[in-house]
């Protein structure tokens, strides 16, 4: 599907780590006008209110990008209540998509995959059979909800790296320790993996979708795993200080892989991740956490 003229795109989650950079990219994209889901001009609307009708007071968009969710982090526990907020948020946005009958993009997570094997997960790889995380169960429910429509894309996101990262998560904590000439502690053998993708790269893929929507499920990842040991060493190198400490303490997530095939996104959108891990660290290290 393609559009002629200006595309009016409604974006949720514009204050989040992914949405914030997507907003910047979409705003400067030729032919795209970004809309906000704030009925009647209310700027602090809680999109997770039960039964909220966000279509009221909003001009009909040409497409919806749904990047908002109640993500647990260091200061907010992963609880059933938070998961229910994500489900309500998804339901409210989906109801608006149904009312407008427009294409939509749902931001999900690569963490849904079974990640114990060595092979890279593509979009048809098995998902985990059970989730201890209420948040992950809610995201799977969100995929099923939006997947009822044929004109939906689901972007499974790996580990975003960029401005606005939550204090207490591993990258900001390591950066702050390095800047204070402190210790960067890695548990066990440090082999647990993450796939860190720069939010400038996620923004370019989201903008590519907004310009010319394609439908189905796509991995939105760097396509290169990084171990915790490699991450710590890269941060010490970029910051120029800090000491790596190997702690003889079992990592509860030992054996977790983060290997994702991004060839489908490349072929459908002509997209390529541009920023390496050290470039991303250099960018975020300029910020105060």
The per-residue pLDDT for range 31-40, each reduced to its tens digit, is 899 987 765 5
Helix (H, G, I), strand (E, B) or coil at 2: coil
Residue from 90, 125, 203, 213 nearest 157 by CA? 203
How is the chain split into domains, by residue range? 7-162+197-222+259-274
Q: Per-residue pLDDT averaged across 129-136, rounded? A: 92
Spell out the residues 6+ positions from residue 200 whose beta carbon is closer than 8 angstroms to its own: 21, 25, 162, 274, 275
Confidence (pLDDT) at 195: 97
Spell out the residues 6+ positions from residue 180 whose beta carbon is closer than 8 angstroms to its own: none
Distance from CA of residue 115 to its chain's centroid?
17
Q: How far apart are CA 13 and CA 37, in angstroms?
A: 10
Tell me if 141 sits within 8 A of 154, measured CB to CB. Answer: no
In degrees and rounded to multiples of 5, residue 12 shows phi and psi of: -100, 155
Tally the C-alpha atoms within 13 A of residue 242's C-alpha that lie toward its C-beta.
Answer: 24
At 197-213, the pLDDT tens digits run: 999 999 999 999 999 99
Confidence band, pLDDT 50/70/90 cuts, at residue 4: very low
Q: Angle at the Cα of 135 (from 129 to 140), degrees rounded to 5?
A: 50
At 135-185, the pLDDT tens digits run: 999 999 999 999 999 999 999 999 999 877 877 688 988 999 999 999 999
For 95, 135, 207, the CA distances from 9, given in Å and listed in that order, are 16, 26, 10
Say if residue 11's pLDDT is above 90.
yes
Residue from 234, 235, 158 nearest 195 by CA? 158
CB atoms within 10 A of CB 155: 23
Confidence (pLDDT) at 183: 93
Confidence (pLDDT) at 250: 82
Tell me if 218 sits within 8 A of 153, measured CB to CB. Answer: yes
Whole-model pTM over 0.85: yes
The domain covering 7-162+197-222+259-274 belongs, at the CATH homologous superfamily level, to NAD(P)-binding Rossmann-like Domain (3.40.50.720)
CB atoms within 10 A of CB 250: 10
Confidence (pLDDT) at 209: 96
Q: How far apart are CA 131 and CA 123, in angstroms?
A: 19
Confidence (pLDDT) at 197: 97
């Amino acid at each position: 599907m393609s559009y002629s003229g200006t595309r009016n795109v409604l974006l949720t989650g514009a204050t989040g780590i992914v949405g914030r950079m997507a907003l910047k990219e979409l705003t400067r994209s030729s032919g795209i006008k970004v809309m906000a889901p704030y009925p009647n001009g209310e700027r602090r609307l809680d999109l997770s209110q039960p039964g909220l009708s966000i279509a009221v007071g909003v001009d009909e968009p040409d497409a919806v990008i749904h990047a908002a969710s109640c993500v647990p982090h260091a200061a907010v526990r992963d609880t059933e209540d938070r998961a229910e907020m994500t489900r309500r948020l998804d339901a409210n946005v989906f109801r608006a998509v149904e009312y407008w009958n427009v294409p939509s993009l749902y931001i999900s997570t690569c963490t849904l995959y079974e990640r114990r094997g060595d092979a890279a997960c593509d979009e048809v790889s098995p998902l985990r059979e059970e989730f201890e995380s209420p948040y992950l169960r809610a995201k799977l429910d969100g995929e099923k909800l939006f997947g009822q429509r044929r004109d939906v894309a689901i972007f499974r996101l790996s580990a975003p790296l960029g401005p606005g990262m939550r204090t207490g998560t591993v990258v900001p904590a390591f950066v702050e320790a390095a800047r204070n000439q402190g210790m960067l502690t890695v548990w066990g053998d440090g082999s647990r993996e993450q796939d860190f993708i720069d939010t400038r790269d996620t923004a370019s893929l989201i903008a590519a979708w907004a310009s010319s929507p394609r439908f189905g499920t796509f991995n939105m990842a760097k396509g290169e795993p990084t171990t915790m040991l490699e991450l710590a060493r890269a941060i010490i190198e970029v910051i120029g200080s800090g000491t790596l400490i190997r702690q003889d303490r079992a990592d509860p997530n030992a054996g977790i892989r983060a290997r994702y095939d991004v060839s489908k996104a490349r072929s459908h959108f002509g997209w390529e991740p541009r920023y390496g891990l050290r470039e991303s660290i250099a960018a975020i290290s300029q910020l105060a956490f």
